[in-house]
Amino acid sequence: MHIEKNVCEAVVGTLLNIEGKSKDTTNARLGLQDMGIHPELHLQPKGGNKHYKPLATYTPCVEERKEFCAFLKSVKLPDGYAANISRSVSVRDGRMYGLKSHDCHVLLQHLLPIGIRRILKNDIFTTLVELCKFFEKLTAKTLHVNNLEQLESDVVLILCKLERIYLPAFFDSMVHLIVHLPREVRLSGLVALRWMYPIERYLGTLKKYVKNKARPEGSIVEGYIVNEALTFSSMYLRGLETRFTRPERNDDGRKMLQSNGFSVFSQQVVQKATHRHIWELVEDDVDTDMQDYDSNNFHHDVHQDASSADIQLVIDLGDLENNHFVRIDVPAEVVDVDKLNDYVDEEEDLEFFVDDDEEEIELMGDESEEELTLHDDSD
C-alpha cells in the first residue's frame, strides 16, 4: 500500500515536475555529468551561474500538464469509490497536492493510464501503463499462483524499461521494493486482506473524538463508549432518524422498478456468481446463455462479471526509443547551479502528500464481505 503510494508519488511528481517531489532535479542532472551518461540531458552553461536544463521526454510541457490536470479535474467517480480527487488538482498551476494513500491507489491504477496517453510518447506511455497494470493485477481480489510467478518475471522487465527512460535518481529504495511484492503476495496472501485502508479510515474516526488534546486516550474512550451506547439505544427508538433508518445518500430507485422490461434503468445490477473464484466459472458465451433462459424465469437482471485483472502485460524492450531523451519542441529551463536545494528530506512537511489519518475516506462496500482466496493450480 505504502510502496504503491511512494511509486505514484515519484511518477506523478516527475510527470508534473512538482518541486520537492520530482526526481528530475538539478542534482540529478549534475549526477549524469559525473557518470558520463545521457549527454543530451546535461546542463548547458548560459553565462555566470545560469544553466539551461533541457526538458526530458518523460516530462510534459506546461500546457500538457494543465491538460492532464484538467482531465483529473473533470473526472466523476461513483459515490464511495474514492475521495474527491478534483479538490487536490490545480489546473492553473498544473500540479496536485494533498493526495492520500487511497487517492494514489485510484490514480495509479485507473486514472493515470488514461490521462497520459495524449501527452507522452508511445514508448514511455506503454511502460507506465505496464507499471499501472502490474499494481492492478497484484491487488486483484482473485489471483492464481501461476499469475504471480509471471508477475515476478514481468516486473523485472518493467523496471529495466523504466531505467532506460528515467534518470538514476528515480530509482530509490521504494521503487526497488516492487520487485519483491509478487513473492510477498504468494507468502502472505491477498493484498486486499492486509492493506491498511479500513484501519486508517477507522483511526480517522477515532481522531475526531479527541476534544482534549492533553488526554487524547480518554477522549477516544469516552467518544467510543458514547457512540456504541447511542447506536444500541437507537435500535429501540421510533419516529427518529437513526443510522438504521436513515435513507441512502443516493436514491437509485431500486424499489421502483418499471413494468417495461426494455428499460435499462429498471434493471438491478447483480453478480453473475455468488463467489469470485474465476477458475471455477465456466467460460460460456453470455449472449448464448441468455437465449437459453426461460422467459418466465428471466428477471431482467444485468449480470456483472467479476474483474479478475486478466489483461496481459506487453513486455518488449525493443519498443523503447533509446536514442531520444530530450524534447526539442520545448525550450530548455534556466536553472541556477549555485542554489542546489533540490534535495528534500522525506520527513519535511510538503503539500503534495499528507498523512492518511487526516481525512476519512468513504468506500462503498466492505472488503471483508467478499470471498477472497489464493488458489494453487497444482491442487
Is 231 a domain residue? no
Task: Specify the number of domains making up the chain.
Answer: 1
Mean pLDDT score, 6-17: 93
pLDDT digits (tens, 9 = 90+) for 102-115: 999 999 999 999 99
Residue recorded with cell 532535479: 25
> Strand, coil or helix: what is 45?
strand
Q: What confidence tier does 294 reach under pLDDT thresholds 50, 70, 90?
A: very low
Q: Which three cell numbers stand for residue 375?
A: 488458489
Is 250 a domain residue? no
Q: Looking at the DSSP assignment, which residues form a beta bridge with residue 143?
A: 374
Q: What confidence tier does 265 reach under pLDDT thresholds 50, 70, 90?
A: low
Is 65 a domain residue? yes
Residue whose C-alpha is closest to residue 16's, from 157, 162, 115, 140: 115
Mean pLDDT score, 238-260: 70
Mean pLDDT score, 343-357: 44
Is 48 a domain residue? yes
List the single range of 186-190, 213-217, 345-349 with lowest mean pLDDT.
345-349
Residue 299 has pLDDT above 90, yes or no: no
pLDDT digits (tens, 9 = 90+) for 66-98: 999 999 999 998 888 888 899 999 999 999 988
Residue 296 has pLDDT above 60, yes or no: no
What does the radius of gyration of the chain's CA atoms come to, in whole angstroms? 25
Instruction: Look at the pTM and tell me if it is higher than 0.85.
Output: no
pLDDT of amino acid 352: 45
List the single range of 156-160, 208-212, 303-307 with lowest mean pLDDT.
303-307
Q: Regarding predicted confidence, which is higher, 332 or 345?
A: 332
Torsion angle of C-alpha atoms 151, 116, 86, 19, degrees rounded to 10: 90
Q: Regarding predicted confidence, which is higher, 229 or 346?
A: 229
Q: Which amino acid is at 71?
A: F
Q: How far apart are CA 298 and CA 301, in angstroms?
A: 8
Residue 200 has pLDDT above 70, yes or no: yes
Mean pLDDT score, 207-217: 93
- Residues 6 or more apart whose CB falls under 8 angstroms from that of 247 comprise none
pLDDT of amino acid 287: 44
Q: What confidence tier does 242 reach under pLDDT thresholds 50, 70, 90?
A: confident
pLDDT of amino acid 259: 47
Q: How far apart are CA 94 and CA 50, in angstroms?
A: 25
Chain centroid to CA 40: 33
Per-chain mean pLDDT for the chain: 76
Is 9 a domain residue? yes
Q: Which amino acid is at 184?
A: E
Q: Which three cell numbers stand for residue 2?
A: 505504502
pLDDT of amino acid 150: 93
C-alpha distances (whole Å) from 155 to each of 7, 131, 246, 255 are: 13, 8, 47, 47
Q: DSSP string spanning 230-273? A: HHHHGGG--SS--TTTPPPSS---TT---S-TT-GGG--EEESS
pLDDT digits (tens, 9 = 90+) for 158-194: 999 999 999 999 999 999 999 999 999 999 999 989 9
Range of the domain at 182: 2-195+312-375
C-alpha distances (whole Å) from 294 to each of 269, 273, 290 are: 20, 19, 9
